[in-house]
Amino acid sequence: MESSAATSKAKSARKDYVESFANLVTSFASAKVEDLLAQIPALLITDFEAERAELWLWDTSSDSAYLVHSAGLEGARRHDYTASGAGVIGKVGQAKRLIENIGLATFGGEDQEFSKRTGLTHISSYPMMVGDKPMAVLAIYSTAPASKELLGWWRMYAEMCGVKVPDLMAAQEQQKQITQLSLLFEATRLLNSTLDLAELLELILKIASQEVQAERGSVFLVDGANKQLWSIVASGLDHQEIRVPFGVGVAGRVAESGEIVNTGDAYSVPFFEPSFDQKFNYKTKSLLCLPVRHHTNEIVGVIQLLNKRTGPNFTREDEDFLVKLSGHIAMALENARLHRDALIKQRLEKELALARGIQRSLLPDQPPVVPGFEIAVLNEPCFEVGGDYYDFLSLGPQSLLLVIADVEGKGVGSALVMSNLQATLRALVMHLHSLEVLAVSLNEMMYNDTKSEKYLSCFLGLVDTRRSGLHYINCGHVPPILVHGASGQYELLEEGGTVVGLFPSAEYKRGTVALKPGDVLITCTDGILEACNAEEDEFGKERLAACVIENRQKNAQGIVDAVLFQVNKFAVGGKYTDDKVLMIMKVTDDGLLEAAKKRPLNRPVELERRESPRGDA
């Protein structure tokens, strides 16, 4: 009678299992894709007497399994992933063979701890294959060995799931690709939402870290000029600038080689630099580092992500997502850099405009009115600021110091030396009464200020309006040209010495010439003489002298205009540009010279020190 009851009970159980399979087929046919995988362990609990069931999906790129769904008794694990060959799940996936009614304690380690913690003593596990590759592992736990009949039903259940899961995975993969495209679109929208570089770097790191589930990371930009990577963004760390030379550490290696580094054990990588961990009190385990490439294939940055939260290492899907994202990152970085460069350029242009205004204020607004002489000046800097200098310093009722100088180089540095020259020269002429001493003192002071890193050429010309003479010292400058109005002949004023500020001590010798009505003195910087045409021929002193001789009947301003016209005409198609200063002084007729003896120069009263230059002036 007891045997009859047992037989009846077995038939009833078998009938229930048959009905469960019928329900399983219906569920698999009607459920949504996202619900099907979750139902696999759940139905084992409700319909097939399992006490706990787990579904692990296999990732072939990392050769690891990830727990995606579970049902039944609570059984929190230390890790929801396992590598191939590690623990019971890893061993089943690696061997590609099922196991049934095996004691969990026999596997040791985490499986043994899991058994003690939950009371689940036995496991039956079934790999689901696609060809010869594992796709998933179904694990069923019990507190006692399962009967042969129940194991048969579990085996049939696993086989049915093994038929259906590939379809589920294909649908899930398709949905995953659609989701990834959506994420890329949203990420691109966010990346294009700002042009602020610091904010953009924060955003890049946030998107990358969230999508691949990284604990920490850094975004580095390439500093090609210094062969370095630099970053002020590092998630999980205080904001401090990090600079890494090319070839140093993983990020430096990636910047140099363009390779992708993906490892589950950072310390096994030969070029991993552990000092970063030591510096920031951190332990790097898994690491993913890849270059950010511009559409020209140029590497413009590096993304480095550390310690994947949901697995032992980053997956091929993580790589693929970041590679696709990196193109959008590069474009956003380029836009941000262009925006930053535009802002910097605007600021520099504003500062240079201010500097140009200050520099112009250091130069005379217009030549002085000197009875018996006409003076005209052209000043054309090739940059906002330059190193060419000219000045007119009144030393008495009948004396005027003409100064023209050219600081080596161009731009801001030369402009600073020029302003120093102006201040030094004006201070010296208040106390020195000798042209030679003035040149020597100027050389010594400029040398002490610049340490010979900058030097200048200059011409100092002291005009004696009473005696119609010119005392001068040429300090390595372009020789001024004196055109004699009566004959049309010219001479070069070369007497003097070396350039100013290059040597600690130098000697200078004065030259003297007489000035007659109609004579024209031409002083200029090398921007006039070295103006080149398309064949790279220089304008030169011969052409300058010929132009002045041809136009010597004009007034001083007319001669300046004529020279400028000829220089510009000659230089059409030429590439050489330099600062240009041209000063023309023309001696007028005797009547004005006689008037000059009686009339003081138009000058500030405080500069007047003596009635006429002394013999040693």
Q: 465 falls in which pLDDT band (50, 70, 90)?
A: confident
Q: Inform me whether the pLDDT recorded for 238 exceeds 60.
A: no
Query: 243-252, 256-265, 571-580 — which is least confidently predicted?
Result: 571-580
Q: Inform me whether the pLDDT recorded for 503 exceeds 80.
A: yes
How many Å apart are CA 2 and CA 7, to the nearest integer?
9
Q: Inform me whether the pLDDT recorded for 566 exceeds 90.
A: yes
Q: Inform me whether the pLDDT recorded for 593 exceeds 50.
A: no
Render pLDDT for 158-194 as a digit per residue (tens, 0 to 9).
Answer: 888 887 777 666 655 555 555 555 555 555 666 565 6
Q: What is the mean pLDDT of residues 83-98?
A: 90
Q: Inform me whether the pLDDT recorded for 422 exceeds 70.
A: yes
- Residue carrying the six token digits 């939260």: 309
pLDDT of residue 601: 42
Q: Is 216 helix (H, G, I), strand (E, B) or coil?
A: strand
How many Å apart are CA 476 and CA 394, to the nearest integer?
24
Half-sphere exposure of 464 (CA within 13 A, CB side): 18
The more confident residue out of 535 and 196 is 535
Q: What tokens were used for 255? A: 């910047």
Instruction: Look up residue 124 and give its amino acid.
Output: S
Q: What is the mean pLDDT of residues 437-463?
A: 88
Most confidently predicted of 104-113, 261-270, 366-375, 557-566: 557-566
Domains 2-177 and 192-340 share a fold: yes
C-beta separation of 380 from 579 below 8 A: yes
Render pLDDT for 48-72 as a digit per residue (tens, 0 to 9).
Answer: 889 999 998 888 767 888 888 899 9
The neighbour count for residue 512, using CB atoms within 10 Å, is 12
The more confident residue out of 57 and 349 is 57
Q: What is the mean pLDDT of residues 320-330?
A: 77
Q: What is the mean pLDDT of residues 490-498?
A: 94
pLDDT of residue 565: 93
pLDDT of residue 357: 67
Fold of domain 2-177? Beta-Lactamase (3.30.450)
> DSSP characters for 120-165?
--EEEEEEEEETTEEEEEEEEEESSPPPHHHHHHHHHHHHHHHHHH
Instruction: Look up residue 119 and give its amino acid.
Output: G
The neighbour count for residue 295, using CB atoms within 10 Å, is 9
pLDDT of residue 605: 32
Q: How far is CA 526 from the centre of its chain?
A: 37
Which of the four CATH numbers 1.10.268.10, 3.90.950.20, 3.60.40.10, 3.90.1200.10 does domain 363-607 have?
3.60.40.10
How many Å apart are CA 512 and CA 493, to the nearest integer?
9
Q: What tokens were used for 304? A: 């480095």
The more confident residue out of 28 and 215 is 215
Q: Inform me whether the pLDDT recorded for 135 exceeds 80.
A: yes
The CATH architecture one would assign to domain 192-340 is 2-Layer Sandwich (3.30)
Most confidently predicted of 133-147, 208-222, 305-319, 563-577: 133-147
pLDDT of residue 592: 43
For helices 411-429 and 316-362, give the axis angle rounded to 10 degrees.
20
Average of per-residue pLDDT values in the chain: 80
pLDDT of residue 609: 41
- Residue carrying the six token digits 């003596």: 610
Q: What is the mean pLDDT of residues 370-391?
A: 81
Q: Where are the domains of the chain?
A: 2-177, 192-340, 363-607
Q: 195 falls in which pLDDT band (50, 70, 90)?
A: low
C-beta separation of 290 from 253 below 8 A: no
Q: 30 falls in which pLDDT band (50, 70, 90)?
A: low
Q: 14 falls in which pLDDT band (50, 70, 90)?
A: low
Half-sphere exposure of 572 (CA within 13 A, CB side): 4
Q: Please report the sign of the dihedral spanned by the C-alpha atoms of residue 310, residue 314, residue 315, residue 320.
A: positive
Classify residue 45 as left (phi > 0), alpha (psi -120 to 50) or beta: alpha
pLDDT of residue 161: 83
Q: What is the mean pLDDT of residues 61-87?
A: 83
